[in-house]
Amino acid sequence: MSTANYTVVGMTCSHCVLSVTEEVSEVPGVTDVDVDLASGRLTVTSDEPVSDERIREAVADAGYSLADGR
């Protein structure tokens, strides 16, 4: 099991959280997604490591971006 943390930029409401959660949940191998609106923290749990680029793409598909550095 692998866990990775990211910071999502641009979320302002619970609908934002839902959009990010749905898109990241669709990434193959992802087993759990936790998004905190106040901090922008995105925690992704997966069966095996998932590439940062794939998570970045899923967040972009939801209409947001990851903070630089992760």
Task: Report domain extents, the chain.
Answer: 2-66
Chain centroid to Cα 68, Å, comes to 14
Q: Taking 80 as the threshold, does the pLDDT of residue 69 lie above it?
A: no
Q: Within 13 Å and on the Cβ side, how many CA atoms surround 51? A: 4
Coil, strand or helix: which one is 17?
A: helix
- What CATH architecture is 2-66? 2-Layer Sandwich (3.30)
pLDDT for 5-37, tens place per residue?
Answer: 999 999 999 999 999 999 999 999 999 999 999
pLDDT for 42-65, tens place per residue?
Answer: 999 999 999 999 999 999 999 999
Residue 55 near residue 66, CB atoms below 8 Å: yes
